[in-house]
Chain A
Amino acid sequence: MYEFNYRRASSVSDAVASSGQSDDASYLAGGMTLIPVLKFRLASPSDIIDLAGLGELKGIRTENGAVVVGAMTTHAEVAGSSEVRQPIPALADLAESIGDPQVRNRGTIGGSIANADPAADYPAAVVGLGATVHTNSRTIGADDFFTDMFETALEPGELVTAVSFPVPDRAAYMKFPNPASRYAIVGVMVSQSGEEVRVAVTGAGGSVFRVPEMEQALAVNFAPEAVAGISVSADGLNEDIHASPEYRAHLVTVMARRAVAAAG
């Protein structure tokens, strides 16, 4: 790791102000991605601003019928929360499928979505459930938040404070995990809220994406067979030693079908 200046922020405004005064600052949430990245010397921020002390970013509450998850809430807390599991079991299940117990004890929802790893699980939840991302300065709709591989709509220094999830009528997340890391080779979140259906895919492309053709088919008939014959193009999908673009395209249909079946 290269050297950096470490400081712990005392409030959201203190964190944002510190970031503004630095040439090249990084916020540190749970550190489950940032610390490995620093160890590999893939990033060399001059300043690390630790958000761990910010109680205002922690916790889960229900507000106007939506489940609001503070940015510094860990995956283990989301997985273990009855306030999440009772209204949106798909979200609790998704959090429980991330990494391993030690990663879930440290990793946070805010850190995950700000990092926007193409194979992370939470982007599928944010887009698949039509969530709203709250930052220190504004709110950003799910469909506008993830812009590209490791890219989001966040401005430099802008800090995610919470994510608010509307409660769907039904939803489920299915993923084909990398057997070693548990990152999604392909993960699909399907939800239905009244007449709106969302199908969001993570792991397959550079960034999470929706599949409008599946959404339209499910709006007419919310059943596994409605998506069984719909496939996405392999063009531009991710390719690595674990899966080819064609295999990922195939998995999108399989995972979508299973998610619809699981959502019941």
Chain B
Amino acid sequence: MTLTVTMTLNGESVSAEVEGRTLLVQLIRDHFRLTGTHVGCDTSQCGACVVHMNGQSVKSCTVLAAQADGAEVSTIESLAENGELHPMQQAFKDNHGLQCGFCTPGMVMSALDLVANNPDPGEAEIRDWLEGNLCRCTGYHNIVKSIAAGAQAMRS
């Protein structure tokens, strides 16, 4: 049985035929070809698949596409404008907040949810917030620095 899912994806109204069991991340990557959102663990632990749904960060490997019917979904592709990186992306670049880059889209989308809740998060709060995002390269130190710098750039 298929069903029609309609959502606002990165500001555009889109719809697709999906199965009940289709995951949001499959819809985003395989159907809409937005491959910035990654599948790391596929078990809702690593956070590489974090997107925003109705303004909140969610793990899109653990949301059914059907659950996003009528929702506003935004992915990492929504951030850069006219070829210019979002301040949070720029901060990751400037602070060496990534090595292989696989976790980075999820890190950035998670960080933006944190900043939406608290425009000036402290280091402890940033580290606590990153509970659901795994990075196997950096040891997190520069990611934490990047998020603090990104938050500061967004405030100014």
Contact = CB atoms under 8 A, between A and B. Distances in A.
B17 interface: no
Given A102-B59, A105-B56, A6 B66 contact: yes
A137 interface: no
Nearest to A5: B1
A35 B20 contact: no
Given A5-B1, A6-B66, A38-B21, A32 B131 contact: no
Contact of B132 (A36, A38, A99): A99
Which of B3, B43, B59, B114 has the most C-beta atoms of chain A within 10 angstroms of its own C-beta? B59
A62 B19 CA distance: 40
Interface of B: 1, 3, 19-21, 23, 42-45, 47, 50, 56-59, 62-64, 66-67, 69, 110, 113-114, 129, 131-133
Interface string A90-124: 00000000011111011000000000000000000
Nearest to B2: A6
Given A31-B64, A39-B42, A52-B67, A101 B20 contact: no
A31 B43 contact: no
A2 interface: yes
Main secondary structure on A side of the interface with B: mixed
Contact of A106 (B1, B47, B63, B113): B63
Which of A6, A38, A181, A182 has the most C-beta atoms of chain B within 10 angstroms of its own C-beta? A6
Given A5-B20, A31-B62, A35-B62, A102 B67 contact: no
5 closest pairs, A vs B, by CB?
A100-B132, A6-B20, A100-B131, A1-B21, A105-B56
Given A6-B3, A101-B57, 10 more contacts: A3-B1, A3-B19, A4-B20, A6-B1, A35-B63, A101-B132, A102-B47, A102-B50, A102-B58, A106-B62
